[in-house]
């Protein structure tokens, strides 16, 4: 455990030192946040849909921007991809550690490090009343805040489990970039990263409930804004999150084991 904490600390400290990049990222999140809010609120106000209110979508978008790097499927550890494509994976295999666990911890540290510097400023500014209709609301209740934190934790583990599969598939792929782009775009769209899931057609929402994508960012954000409520319903959702985590981690470890049997390191 001490070894994994050391890996986490090194990667985390490495990420939070890029403060200028974080400031640029915050500015970018605000620009995209205002654009998405104007787009989706206009759609809601000029349609017959009553699936989600304007205030709920505003809060959803700001949460999405605050935790963008945490749930962005394309935000992965470049060093891991480089080690796979360059052959430096051979050095990783000589270390007396579990490669799956190390990659998992390093990616977690990267995402948390990138998120910490962005989330707090966005929260503080977006809750200021002078933003008017663009103001982010507080959690609808204390229990909503508690469930938000709990589901955020499981959502984070879930997306990391999915990203681990992307890493592993690139080991035997001809083009690592192709695997990354394909699986990242698929994840971003189906998890509500491009279009909030409550605004998707009912049939699409029903299908997505049978996939792990529905239970990533869609769940904590919509609990926070009150779109998803009811303790029994949320307990059921948390159970499904845990189910998908177990499935994806088991699948990832199985793929890793098989990949290590077939991996060929070229060079000299």
- The domain of 219 spans 2-262
> End-to-end distance of the chain based on CA atoms, in angstroms?
34
Q: Is the pLDDT of residue 194 over 50?
A: yes
**Is 268 a member of any domain?**
no
Question: What is the band of 18 on the pLDDT scale with cuts at 50, 70, 90?
Answer: low
- Percent of the chain whose predicted confidence (pLDDT) is above 70: 85
**Is 162 a member of any domain?**
yes
- Percent of the chain whose predicted confidence (pLDDT) is above 90: 44
Note the pLDDT of residue 2.
Answer: 72
Q: Is the pLDDT of residue 49 over 70?
A: no
Note the pLDDT of residue 6.
Answer: 74
Compute the mean pLDDT over every residue in the chain, rounded to the nearest whole number.
Answer: 86
pLDDT digits (tens, 9 = 90+) for 239-261: 999 999 999 999 999 998 887 76
pLDDT digits (tens, 9 = 90+) for 120-172: 888 888 888 888 889 999 999 999 999 999 999 999 999 999 999 999 988 87
**Is 150 a member of any domain?**
yes
Q: Is the pLDDT of residue 221 over 70?
A: yes
**Is 193 a member of any domain?**
yes
Q: Is the pLDDT of residue 91 over 90?
A: no
Of 89-93, 102-106, 120-124, 164-168, least confident by mean pLDDT is 89-93
**Is 267 a member of any domain?**
no
Question: What is the band of 268 on the pLDDT scale with cuts at 50, 70, 90?
Answer: very low
**Is 44 a member of any domain?**
yes
Note the pLDDT of residue 231.
Answer: 92
Question: What is the band of 84 on the pLDDT scale with cuts at 50, 70, 90?
Answer: confident
**Is 38 a member of any domain?**
yes
Query: What is the number of structural domains in the chain?
Result: 1
- Give the global pTM: 0.88
Q: Is the pLDDT of residue 66 over 80?
A: yes
Question: What is the band of 89 on the pLDDT scale with cuts at 50, 70, 90?
Answer: confident
**Is 109 a member of any domain?**
yes
Length of the chain: 268
Note the pLDDT of residue 74.
Answer: 87
Are residues 113 and 14 in contact, defined by beta-carbon separation less than 8 angstroms? yes
Note the pLDDT of residue 144.
Answer: 94
Question: What token pair was written down for 251?
Answer: 């699948």
3-state SS string over the chain? Answer: CHHHHHHHHHHHHHHHCCHHHHHHHHHHHHHHHHHHHHHHHHHHHCCCCCCCCHHHHHHHHHHHHHCHHHHCCCCCCHHHHHHHHHCCHHHHHCCCCCHHHHHHHHHHHHHHHHHHHHHHHHHHHHCCHHHHHHCCCCCCCHHHHHHHHHHHHHHHHHHHHHHHHHHHHHHCCCCHHHHHHHHHHHHHHHCCCCCCHHHCCHHHHHHHCCCHHHHCCHHHHHHHCCCCCCHHHHHHHHHHHHHHHHHHHHHHHHHHHHHHHHCCCCCC
């Amino acid at each position: 455990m001490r070894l994994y904490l050391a890996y986490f600390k090194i990667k985390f400290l490495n990420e939070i030192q890029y403060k200028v990049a974080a400031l640029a990222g915050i500015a970018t999140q605000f620009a995209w946040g205002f654009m998405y809010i104007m787009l989706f609120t206009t759609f809601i106000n000029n349609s017959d849909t009553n699936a989600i209110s304007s205030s709920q979508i505003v809060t959803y978008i700001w949460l999405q921007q605050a935790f963008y790097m945490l749930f962005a499927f394309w935000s992965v550890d470049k060093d891991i991809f480089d080690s796979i494509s360059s052959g430096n994976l051979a050095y990783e295999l000589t270390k007396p550690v579990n490669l799956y666990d190390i990659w998992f911890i390093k990616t977690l540290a990267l995402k948390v490090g990138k998120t910490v510097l962005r989330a707090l400023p966005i929260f503080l500014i977006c809750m200021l009343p002078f933003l008017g209709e663009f103001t982010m609301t507080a959690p609808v209740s204390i229990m909503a805040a508690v469930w938000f934190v709990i589901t955020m934790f499981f959502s984070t583990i879930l997306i990391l489990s999915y990203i681990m599969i992307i890493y592993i598939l690139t080991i035997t792929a001809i083009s690592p970039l192709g695997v990354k782009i394909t699986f990242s775009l698929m994840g971003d769209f189906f998890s509500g990263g491009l279009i909030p899931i409550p605004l998707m057609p009912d049939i699409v929402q029903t299908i997505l409930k049978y996939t792990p994508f529905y239970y990533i960012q869609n769940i904590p954000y919509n609990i926070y804004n009150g779109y998803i409520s009811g303790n029994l319903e949320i307990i059921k959702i948390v159970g499904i999150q845990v189910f998908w985590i177990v499935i994806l981690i088991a699948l990832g470890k199985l793929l890793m084991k098989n990949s290590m049997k077939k991996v060929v390191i070229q060079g000299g």
